[in-house]
Amino acid sequence: MVKITLVGAGSSVFARQLITDMLAIDGLDGGEFGLVDIDESRLKLAKAIAERLVQLTGKHWTVSASPERTEILPGSDFLVNSVEVGGVANAAPEYEIPLKYGVDQCIGDTIGPGGIFKALRTGPTWLDILRDAERLCPDAWVLNYTNPMSILTLLALEGTSMRTVGLCHSVQSTSRLLARYLDVPYDELYWRCAGLNHNAWFTELTYQGKDMYPVLRERARDPETYEEDPVRFEIMLHFGAFVTESSGHFSEYVPYFRKRPDLIERYTRSGYRGASGFYAQGWPTWRRENDERIAAMLEGAEPIPTERSHEYAADIVEGIALHSPRVIYGNVRNHGLIDNLPDGCVEVACLADRNGIQPCHFGPLPEQLAALNRSHMAVHALMLQALLHRDKQAARYALLLDPLTAAVCSPAEIDAMFDELWEVERPYLQEFE
């Protein structure tokens, strides 16, 4: 019997979908879901919806739950991480303080001021979870969904012995979006993709043996299509490849689109297409509404979705537990997988089967794309140093090297921003004091 433990299970919508996906695996008819969250009210909600989902399938799964992870971790075959450390309390200052200095973020959870401070808040707790796992379930596969993905996954791979892969939905979502832009059947679109999480590149797009990039460039000239993804189309037109992350998210990863008000007005749009403060302003409301929706499902006021999603966690469980090979895109250590990127965390195709998760060699990226990735990997390397050695200065250097922050601010301004953020978040940074 397989045991799947979800740490941070109080993120009810996310946990609900992953449990739904696991229950939809043909041939996996029983096991145990272990749920962990320090917020007991949200843990109770997560347990209730998990039990209802099991009931709907008629499969033989049990559900255990506890705010104490050491009670749930023993015997886990898979450990899914979606923890959020101090997120609600810090979402606003991580947007508002950088904005005072001219650094305008849309999401702010990957690099940049928001991503760096989220890593500082989250990293020590993440290491504590993994070190408990080393004692209590050392053979488990760890599936990390918490951002900043590359930094936290690299921290797990360098700082612990746990077999860890970082999982996102940007590759599978964007590949489907590209099939729509190109108006071709998704199952017949051939593509190759590699790079970093949120910064991976579709280096090939072909349909029936035909290169589809000329078609995509032509579609980008259609104003209606361009409006759906302005930043990503601009990057494709100038750098030669379409990137995996949304226009809004990606606009804050490079120095080109958010450094002047006129550029922000020209290239960004509403919502995930680049709205200023979109995540900080929306997340507390989305969190509350998600919990209310789960409660409505339990009361019968809303239907409970039972469709399997495109998330990779269930594919990994299916591949490993049922010996049914699956290809996923995972964030793993770059031991020669992408030839012209350094050691660090990269996102590549991986085979999940009875032997575990096996990353596939990609080769070199086009040099202009690798150069953009390397600018991020320098930040990742410094954040690894900061988190492993509780090195505050390394985190400061990481912010100095962030592409957008450096495009907007002087070194002295970045120092002042860092100190102001540190002071506000000090209660969540006690591991560094």
- 122 and 49 housed in the same domain: yes
Q: Show which of 289, 305, 321 is a domain's final residue.
A: 305
Q: Does residue 285 fall inside a structural domain?
A: no
- 155 and 76 housed in the same domain: yes
Q: Say what the pLDDT of residue 242 is.
A: 98
Q: Does residue 292 fall inside a structural domain?
A: no
Q: Say what the pLDDT of residue 12 is.
A: 54
- 224 and 120 housed in the same domain: no
Joined together, the tokens standing for residue 375 give 């600018």
Q: Say what the pLDDT of residue 433 is.
A: 86
The pTM score is 0.97
- 79 and 176 housed in the same domain: no
Residues paired with 6 in a beta bridge: 35, 80
Q: Does residue 418 fall inside a structural domain?
A: yes
**pLDDT (tens digit per residue) in 194-210:** 999 999 999 999 999 99
Rounded Cα distance, 286 and 260, in Å: 29
Sign of CA dihedral 32, 80, 386, 109: negative
Give the CATH number, domain containing residue 338. Answer: 3.90.1820.10
Task: Respond yes or no: is residue 60 known to be catalytic.
Answer: no
- 123 and 209 housed in the same domain: no
Q: Say what the pLDDT of residue 14 is.
A: 81
Task: Identify the segments of the chain with pLDDT beneath 50.
Answer: none
Q: Does residue 291 fall inside a structural domain?
A: no
Q: Say what the pLDDT of residue 237 is.
A: 98
- 70 and 129 housed in the same domain: yes
Q: Say what the pLDDT of residue 298 is.
A: 95
Indicate the average pLDDT of the chain.
Answer: 97
- 151 and 203 housed in the same domain: no
Q: Does residue 294 fall inside a structural domain?
A: no
- 320 and 364 housed in the same domain: yes
Of the listed 60, 169, 249, 380, which one is catalytic? Answer: 169
Structural domain count, the chain: 2
- Compute the C-alpha angle 331/205/379, nearest 5°: 30
Residues 6+ apart with CB under 8 A from 113: 94, 97, 98, 103, 105, 399, 402, 405, 417, 421
- 331 and 382 housed in the same domain: yes
Rounded Cα distance, 271 and 261, in Å: 17
- 217 and 149 housed in the same domain: no
Give the CATH number, domain containing residue 151. Answer: 3.40.50.720
- 136 and 96 housed in the same domain: no
Containing structural domain, residue 160: 2-86+112-168+301-305
Pairing of strands 60-66, 30-36: parallel
Joined together, the tokens standing for residue 429 give 């940074």
Eight-class DSSP state of 75: T
